[in-house]
Amino acid sequence: MKWLARAVVALGASTRVCAATALCGSDCRVPTTQCPTEGTNNTFCANAWNSDGKGYQCLDVGDDEQSFVATFHWTSLPVYIVHSYPHVKLGSPLLPLQFHDIGSLQVNAEWGMNLDAGPTPAPNLTLDTAGLTKTQCRANVALDIWADVDPAKAGNETVAGMEIMVWLGVFGDVQPLGWDKKSHNAPRLKLGDHSFTLFVGSAEAGRSTYTWMPDRNYTSFSHDISPLIQYLWKNKLVPADAYIGTVSFGSESFFASDPIAFTAESLLMNITSESGVPIPVCNSPAGKHQPPSLLSMAVSFLIPLFVLSIC
């Protein structure tokens, strides 16, 4: 697979150089067509939303726009501060969608994390545990879902009142909001042979947070994660009629003494609605976009999601 050229920038510098094929800092590339032509209508983002001038975040998108490598290097203290979340944001006409109306949310992902190999990124799905430990890497790999009782706010990460995360990997002593290692009563759910524990907390401005923590790193993942979301409203932790507005996949980066590369490939997300709400029909390749069916009570929007966002 060919890979697009990378332009690395120091986020604290007054000038920024980013090639059209690389996303650095807090730049975003937004879809230029209303309907997906290659099965994607997503946004790739490097999302260095909390840069302090002592590091960088860069995102390289594969020429197929279905894979990416994100490189980060944050060295400032304290080490528990999140600096960036390179990710891909799902584009679907079903969103915003009420909690009780979610039929399924299938997520497939292959990912790896290791020391950055140099100026020309290449996909690497290995997990260099020794190297990550040596460089004191602090990061996670996570799905990030924003929600609110107001559908207009649900799609805006800066004002949404609820954040739901499903972590697939964690490095360093990274902990979610609401973390309590002594708690033996935290809810636990299994998706096949994948186990998750729920921690509930709060962030700035009273935002509620719900984080499903894995019992180990899942570098190869293929599951419908809707049971984790349904648990929240069925147990009255969130309003059943609140709206999910955005769904993203990426890696929160905190600290590393050397540059770290995060690779994501073979990513697929498929969200369905229980009520069969109609969606636009786009002329895209077979298997990429599913038109609505009057005979089905579920509507799906299928997209290869191997990309990142920076918003």
Max CA distance (Å), the chain: 57
**Segment 108-119 mean pLDDT:** 88
**Within a domain: 270:** yes
How many domains is the chain partitioned into structurally? 1
Q: What pLDDT, on the 0 to 100 scale, is given for residue 56?
A: 87
For residues 164 and 199, the answer to whether their CB atoms sit within 8 Å is no
Taking 50 as the threshold, does the pLDDT of residue 281 lie above it? no
Structural domain contains residue 14: no
CA 241, 242, 248, 250 torsion-angle sign: negative
Q: How much of the chain, in percent, has pLDDT values that exceed 90? A: 53
Report if residue 1 sits inside a domain.
Answer: no
5 is a domain residue: no
Say how far apart CA 305 and CA 269 lie, in whole Å. 6
Q: Are 223 and 192 in contact (CB under 8 A)?
A: yes
CA distances from 145 to 10, 59, 91, 162, 175 (A): 29, 21, 13, 8, 18
Contacts 24+ apart (CB under 8 A), 235-240: 235/187, 237/200, 237/210, 238/99, 238/147, 238/162, 238/208, 238/210, 239/99, 239/149, 240/98, 240/99, 240/100
- Asked if pLDDT for residue 246 goes beyond 70, the answer is yes
pLDDT digits (tens, 9 = 90+) for 206-221: 899 999 999 999 999 9
pTM, to two decimals:
0.80
Residue 36 lies in a domain: yes
Looking at residue 126, which CATH number applies to its domain? 2.60.120.180
pLDDT of 304 higher than 70: no
Q: How far is CA 290 from CA 64, 70, 185, 200, 278, in A?
A: 20, 30, 41, 35, 11
Residue at 2 is within a domain: no
| Distance between CA atoms of residues 120 and 126, nearest Å | 17
pLDDT (0 to 100) of residue 206: 85
Alpha helix locations (H) across the chain? 129-134, 151-154, 226-234
Q: Token digits for 96?
A: 């915003």
Asked if residue 88 belongs to a domain, the reply is yes
Number of H helices, E strands in the chain: 3, 18
Is 310 a residue whose pLDDT tops 80?
no
What does the pLDDT read at residue 27?
63
Q: Are strands 162-171 and 208-214 parallel, antiparallel or unpaired?
A: parallel
Q: What is the pLDDT of residues 66-89, one digit of tens each?
A: 778 999 999 999 999 999 999 988
Q: What is the mean pLDDT of residues 171-193?
A: 88
121, 6 contact by CB (below 8 A): yes
What mean pLDDT, rounded, does the chain reach? Answer: 78
| Tokens, residue 296 | 């089905």
| 6 within a domain of the structure (yes/no) | no
% of the chain surpassing 70 pLDDT: 72
Compare 286 and 124 and report the one with higher pLDDT.
Answer: 124
Mean pLDDT of 254-270: 91
Instruction: Tell me what pLDDT residue 22 has.
Output: 62
Most confident range, picked from 29-33, 35-39, 228-232: 228-232
Domain that holds residue 49: 22-304
- In this structure, of 121-125, 194-198, 225-229, the range with the lowest mean pLDDT score is 121-125
Mean pLDDT of 140-164: 96
d(CA 212, CA 167): 6
Tell me 169's DSSP state.
E
| Inter-CA distances, 285 with 65, 282, 294, Å | 15, 9, 21
